[in-house]
Structure 1
Amino acid sequence: MEDIAKAAGLSKAAIYLYFPSKMALLEALIEAKVAPLANQAQSLAAAGAADPLMALRMLATAAAYRAGDAKVFAVPRLVIGISGRFPEIADYYRTNVVEKARAALEALIDAGKAKGVIRDIDSKAVTRAFIGPLFFEAMWTHVLRGESAFADPHTLIEQHFDILLNGLEQRA
């Protein structure tokens, strides 16, 4: 809390005027920076059943833009870093971000299977294959300081979808 107060130009006591605990501060950070993507995923899943592949592409593009922002990716990075000492924040993040996003992706994949545009395949496995490369790219860029594919998110997503969909599309 002292580091946060210092970075904000406030006293530690002032931080506690706004947030009653470290947990409340971390929850607010998650809600402000990364939960909107999970909420967007839920909205797209609800609205995107008519064209699940387009909804998946839109969601991946939104995720790439958000993950390309170092300030946004700092939140999951922080959660990973403190999860051993604060398992409750990892639980909060998993419940309010990861599980919502995964459920939305699984719903879109299931909608694609129902429409016949995605072959019969394990939706949970596809969801992991969908998220994994984007998460790796964010780690590569923001943690390992490798060259960033986020400079051109459109190309990143098109390549990701080319690889992913060639394994998902219904085969004649």
Structure 2
Amino acid sequence: MSSTRLADDSQSRRERRKEARPGELLDAALDLFVEKGFAATRSEEVAARAGVSKGTLFLYFPTKEELFKAVVRENMSGRFAEWQEEFMKFEGSTADMARHFMRVWWERIGATRASGITKLMISEARNFPELAAFYQQEVIRPGTDLVRRILQRGIARGEFRPVDVEYAVFGVVAPMIFLIMMKHSLGACAPQDYPLDPQRYVDTQMDMLLQGLCARPGAQA
């Protein structure tokens, strides 16, 4: 390789380091957190994958914990504002709303790399209680609040029968967690003939849930 080519490559790497943006760092961090977990991921690995120096990474994110929180906000908790807006504007039945939000959750979170963060938190929460509390505040609480509002809407409109909403929320959330765990653990190494199509799974779970939730004419509350 000529000295000119080497100089050009060196200049290109310097420009890339100089022009690095937080988005590139967050993408690299998300990949590594999902691949290796929080504890095993080192800051210098994130910087290397993003093509920047460790010092550049620390300019944006002084600690690995702050980097993780930024990844969660960028890929998960930042979605709730748009979902709340969709909830307010939705004009169909509550059953249709529930189906819509379950499908949207899979498309925007479950089917993406970000779903691996949920598996990471389940496996590492006890070792990082501060991050667990952060995840509870940023993801779990607004997520369950949204599901609660959907159930309450259906009950208030007479579409769903009265249920214990606080616990019915778990019946909606649990199938979503199962699908994520299958995708990032057993499902990742299961034989190819293992039958689990995510969309069919989501639709089937919603059909079963709605059969239990929907009010029936003449039924006693």
After the TM superposition, which residues 1-172 of structure 1 pair with which residues of structure 2 at under 5 Å, given as runs? Answer: 1-48=43-90, 51-65=93-107, 66-69=109-112, 71-144=113-186, 145=188, 146=190, 147=194, 148-150=196-198, 153=199, 155-172=200-217
1:54 alignment partner AA: D
Give aligned-pair identity as a percent.
23
CA contact (8 A) 1:42 1:101 kept: no
Computed over aligned residues only, the root mean square deviation of the Cα atoms, in angstroms, reads: 2.0
Match of 2:6 in 1: none
What is the rounded CA distance, in whole Å, between the counterparts of 1:7 and 1:44 in structure 2?
A: 36
Displacement of 1:16: 0.3
What is the rounded CA distance, in whole Å, between the counterparts of 1:91 and 1:49 in structure 2?
A: 35
Displacement of 1:2: 2.5
Displacement of 1:49: 7.2
CA contact (8 A) 1:38 1:98 kept: no
Higher RCO structure (Cα 8 Å, ≥6 apart): 1
Give secondary structure in 2 for the equivalent of 1:167.
helix
Give secondary structure in 2 for the equivalent of 1:84.
helix
Q: Which runs of 5+ in 2 are unaligned?
A: 1-42
Q: TM-score, normalised by structure 2?
A: 0.69
Q: Which runs of 5+ in 1 are unaligned?
A: none
CA contact (8 A) 1:67 1:138 kept: yes
Q: TM-score, normalised by structure 1?
A: 0.86
